[in-house]
Structure 1
Amino acid sequence: MSDGLQTSRRAPAPLSREAVRAWRNAVFLIFALSGLAVATWLSRNPAIRDLLHASTAQMGWVVFGIAAGSIVGLTLSSHVLAVAGPRATILGCLLVLSGGLVFAGVGASVLTSMVWVIVGLAVFGAANGMLDVSMNVEGAANERALGRTVMPLFHASFSIGTMAGAGLGGLAERLHVPVLAHTAVIAGVLVLGALVAVPRLQPHPDAPAEPAEDADGHGVSGWRSRLAIWRDSRTVFIGLIVLGMAFAEGSANDWLALAMVDGHGVSNATGAFVFGVFVTAMTVGRIVGVTVLDRFGRVPVLRATAGLAAVGLTLLIVAPAPWLAVVGVVLWGLGASLGFPVGMSAAADDPATAAARVSAVATIGYCAFLVGPPLIGFVGEHVGLLRALLLVLVLVALAGLTSGAGREPGRTGRTPATPAD
């Protein structure tokens, strides 16, 4: 071991029941704030396009700004977490996230500059990508402290945040609230939420008392060790679980309403309603999933939900009547609900490598969110959207086949030292 290593840090003291519960509630709030931020921008996209007088192709560059920033944030997240720690990282991400949101709003409303909007959204995306990893690492640590499954509920809180953001965005559109005023108010909410939530986060009780890294990045948490996570087969297989289910979720977000309209001949309003059915099924699946996961374990539940998603997709694709397609959508939503949160829990099983593994798995999952929808659109242009969804079916099947990678280490021994409700 290098002479330049610092003294090993002490493991934190055991937490009280009240502290663990306050920590849990803070993580709920952080997930909801992330969802609120993302939905705020997405809900104002039509207004942004009008302000910039942008074409569809130009709006594609706006989306690319968020995507590129997200990949940068995901890639750097484990290194930033190792240096700054979860509290400082989450606080910084929420503050930068709010700043990027306002900056993009200024770019659209005051400067009417596509370049400044893209820069603002790249900053926004980088902060949100890093926040995604950080809050999942924090959620997994709290889950271990609680001694029971709670990660799907954190992701349900994210979904509720997106629903609130979309609703407020729709209301802002109806009331003709300027984009800059809207983004500034939401940014204020993000800052206030950060100041409320972050002080309630706790040191991870099971964090290893490892040595700090030296200037060359050596030590248990050195950057070389964090990058080496990518060579671990379990990381890759967990990533494939998340990849399949993220592809299923992202494809529904972008194409489900249109697939119902074009493939099943329903009206635009009905297509939007069916998408709402999918989102509701996802949220219900995440809420109910905590009980099911604690009773049966990750692997059987992941396999069962992959099967549900596969049956639902098949029904949607081949259904002779719209009502049967809607039944398929419900099964698809329920089946796709748990893959991402369970994958995050599995990636964070080992506290010593949690940040690096969650970063790697989240990066794989985000590839599905970023690449999947354009791929479905390209294939759908040639064979129709319903048939294009067969690609999703293939990846869902792959997620089911690799579900064994999510198995809990010593599941029967998961009992909380200080029970927290």
Structure 2
Amino acid sequence: MGASRTLLICLSLASAGMVGIGVLAEVAPSLVILFVALMAFGVGYSICDVAMNLSGAANERRIGRTLMPVFHALFSVGTMIGAGVGALMEHLSVPIGVHLVGVGVLGLVAAQVSVRFLQPAEHVEEPAAAGAGATGVDTMADPLSDTPDPAGWRSRLAVWRDPRILLIGVIVLGMAFAEGSANDWLSLSMVDGYGLTNAGGAAMFGVFVTAMTVGRLLGGRVLDRFGRIPVLRGTAVLAVAGLLLVILGPNIGVAAVGTVLWGLGASLGFPVGMSAAADDPRTATASVAAVATIGYFAFLIGPPLIGLLGEQVGLLNAFWVVGVLAVLAGLCAPAAREPQPVSR
């Protein structure tokens, strides 16, 4: 369907699902209809996520600068705004159904308005012979064109046999696991492990999200200067160091420093993985979808895994699994190496 139509349809689908969830919460609770609404939200959100990352990668190629971390920083900003609005709605005793319907309606409006301002994803021809750009790949057949992709299912599934794509998927998996584990369990771990109040635990999560946002806002410049591999290795080290301070810290001050390092360390793995997966425009759509699928697996298994381990050994000790995956992501960093220019 092309990038623009996909974003319009899928963002609208996700927003409609949110409206449906809100209406059900207030009017007529129904498990079957709720299932349909949640499926609409999940399917629309996930496909929209892939399309947004593809569009971000196209902008990076055309502008020649690292932009993906900034786009993901705005995702983090949205998370903070959403949390703040949710807290305000709770404080004002606004029914949750009304809240969700309002969010869904805003999403529908945003879908109609924002897509109009997207840069048309037309074919881009580099000034090189036969359409070979500086990266050595054919840039004339950009998959972000607003025309259907003629590739068959077999060629799309072929990326799952590409070792590079699978290793990039491991990078995203490890860092998505680090991000998702903090989203779901950091606040409670601070309450259980360090004796903070619920408000204090929530504040510590705010520290984490702020660190992630800062890391993503600054990440583009750092990546352009040092390259993907050193940055991915460095952020993996930061994430592991932060986790060690959170798990083993003698007091909340040390844990707070660890939370900042953890947030900075987890900030760039997902956006860099999306950019790396889209390096070859000919296979970018299938590659980004594959890497996103692997990354979403972390969000699927991460929360219950940490919860189950937390019941047995405590939440802080359960975070050792997150550290192991962060180490694995750092070891796979060479897979995200930038394309080499073609010698002439």
**TM-score (ref. length: structure 2):** 0.90
Structure 1: which amino acid aligns with 2:121? P
1:37-85 deviations in whole A, cap 9, x for unaligned?
xxxxxxxxxxxxxxxxxxxxxxxxxxxxxxxxxxxxxxxxxxxxxxx11
8 Å contact kept, 1:310–1:396: yes
Which of 336, 339, 344 is equivalent to 1:409? 339
Residue 398 of structure 1: which of 300, 314, 328 is its match? 328
Residue aligning to 2:131: none
1:106-164 superposed Cα distances (whole Å, 9 cap, x missing partner): 22211122332222111100000100101000110011111100100000111111222
1:175 to 92, 98, 108: 92
**1:90 partner amino acid:** L
**Which of 40, 52, 72 is 1:135 aligned to?**
52
Between the two proteins, what is the percent identity of the paired residues?
59
Compare 355-364 and 115-124 and name the one that shifted more.
115-124
**How much does 1:266 deviate?**
2.2
Which of 59, 71, 79 is residue 154 of structure 1 equivalent to?
A: 71
Q: Which amino acid aligns with 1:309?
A: A
Which piece of structure 1 moves more, 194-203 or 305-314?
A: 194-203
Cα gap change, 1:342 to 1:411, in 2 (>3 Å): farther
Provide the C-alpha distance between the structure 2 equivalents of 1:210 and 1:239, rounded to a whole number of angstroms: 22
- Residue in structure 2 matched with residue 19 of structure 1 by the alignment: none
* Number of the residue aligned with 1:277: 207
Q: 1:210–1:393: structure 2 CA closer, same or farther, 3 Å change rule?
A: closer
Q: CA deviation at 1:178?
A: 3.0
Residue 236 of structure 1: aligned partner: 166
SS class of match (2:23): helix
In the alignment, is residue 164 of structure 1 matched against residue 81 of structure 2?
yes
Is 1:86 the equivalent of 2:3? yes
Deviation at 1:220, TM superposition (A): 6.7
For 2:156, the equivalent position in structure 1 comes to 226
Equivalent of 2:103, from 164, 176, 186? 186
Q: 1:104, 1:412 → 2: CA distance?
A: 52
Q: Deviations over 1:230-273 (max 9, x none)?
A: 00001100000000000000000111111111112222222111
Where do residues 110-121 of structure 1 align in structure 2 (5 Å cutoff)?
Answer: 110-121=27-38
User: Are the aligned partners of 2:20 and 2:101 in contact in 1 as well (CA < 8 Å)?
Assistant: no
Gaps of 5+ in 2: 126-138, 144-148
Q: Which whole-Å CA distance do the structure 2 matches of 1:210 and 1:260 have between them? A: 47
Distance of 2:313 and 2:305 partners within structure 1: 12
How far apart are the structure 2 equivalents of 1:196 and 1:358?
25
| 8 Å Cα contact 1:156/1:283 also seen in 2 | yes
Counterpart residue number, 2:193: 263
Aligned length: 324
Verify the 8 A CA contact 2:19 2:105 in the aligned structure 1: no
Return the letter of the residue paired with 2:151. Answer: S
Q: Secondary structure at the match of 1:203?
A: coil
1:253 corresponds, among 183, 207, 224, to 183
Aligned CA-pair RMSD? 2.0
Provide the C-alpha distance between the structure 1 equivalents of 2:158 and 2:232, rounded to a whole number of angstroms. Answer: 27
Correspondence for 1:340: 270
1:169 to partner: Cα distance: 1.9
- Using the TM superposition, give the Cα deviation of residue 210 of structure 1 relative to its aligned residue in structure 2, in angstroms: 8.4
Structure 1 distance, partners of 2:12, 2:88, is 25
1:98 and 2:28 equivalent?
A: no
Q: Secondary structure of 2:214's partner?
A: helix
